[in-house]
Structure 1
Amino acid sequence: MAERYSSFTPGGTGWFLQRVTAAFLVVVLAFHFFLLHFVNHAYEVSFMGTQARMENIGYFLTMVLFLVTAAFHGVNGVYNALVNQGLEGTQKKVVLAVLTIAGVGLVAQGTYVALTMSGMI
């Protein structure tokens, strides 16, 4: 029988954070879809409406946390998928660095947009 391999150590920090972020993303994504597709239909979403929602500190913090969580979950998942496929050595370090820089850049740009939309800057 084939042996199961995972770069995640069961019960380890990476394994735990991947599952916690997945659970959080499911809940916040459901909130997002409910609010922006059922309460406000897609054709009703406007720039001014987005600014108004982002001015609410609870909504703002939820969206920024959504961004950070999604970026971590995505980068961590892609990295571990590549490690599971046999990535190792220098290539593993380079991929980790590139993914980390991309994730930090995404969070920085998204946070900047959120701050701008909320009127904080």
Structure 2
Amino acid sequence: MAEHYSSFERGGRRWLWQRITAAFLVVVLAFHFFLLHFVHHAADVTFQMSAARMQQWTYYSLMVLFLITATFHGVNGVYNALVNQGIEGTRKTAVKWTLIAASILLIVQGIRTANEWAGIALLPF
């Protein structure tokens, strides 16, 4: 009988959140493809059209949630792939904190970009 192996801890929440974020991403990606490939042809999409969509709070909120969810899903997947490969100790800790820092930078820059498109000026920088 094959033994069970997973880098996720039994009863841990990271495994569950990986599945939840995957399901959310599938739905949002389907929405994206429908909107930008069937409702509007990709070649016809302009910056102004994107800015107009981002000014709607529902679309803006969905895109920010998509950014956060995709970042978590990707980083969590990379981290667990490295754990599956056998990374341990100091390297594991260094990778974890590097991925966390990169995630924070990505999310901050993504929100700054979304705010510019939406015409929201929250931060002075």
Q: TM-score, normalised by structure 2?
A: 0.93
Residue 68 of structure 1, CA deviation: 0.2
Secondary structure class of the residue paired with 1:87: coil
Q: Could you say which residue in structure 1 is the equivalent of 2:106?
A: 106
Where does 1:36-51 land on structure 2 (aligned, <5 Å)? 36-51=36-51
Deviation at 1:4, TM superposition (A): 3.0
For 1:70, give the aligned amino acid.
A
Secondary structure of 1:8 counterpart:
coil
SS of corresponding position for 1:16: helix
How many pairs are equivalent? 121
Deviation at 1:11, TM superposition (A): 3.5
Letter in 1 for 2:40: N
Could you say which residue in structure 1 is the equivalent of 2:5?
5
Gaps spanning 5+ residues in structure 2: where?
none
Code of the residue aligned with 2:87 in structure 1: it is L
CA deviations on 1:9-54 (whole Å, 9 max, x unpaired) are: 2442101110100000000010011101111111011110010000
Match of 1:30 in 2: 30
CA–CA distance in structure 1, aligned partners of residues 10 and 62 of structure 2: 29
Structure 2 counterparts to residues 14-29 of structure 1, below 5 A? 14-29=14-29
Identity of aligned residues (%): 60
C-alpha offsets along residues 73-115 of structure 1, whole Å, 9 cap, x if unaligned? 0000000010011010000000001111111111110000001
Q: Which runs of 4+ in 1 moved over 3 A?
A: none
User: Partners of 2:44 and 2:53 in 1: how far apart?
Assistant: 13
1:41-120 alignment to 2 at 5 Å? 41-120=41-120
| Distance of 1:101 and 1:94 partners within structure 2 | 11
RMSD: 1.0
Measure how far apart 1:2 and its partner are: 4.3
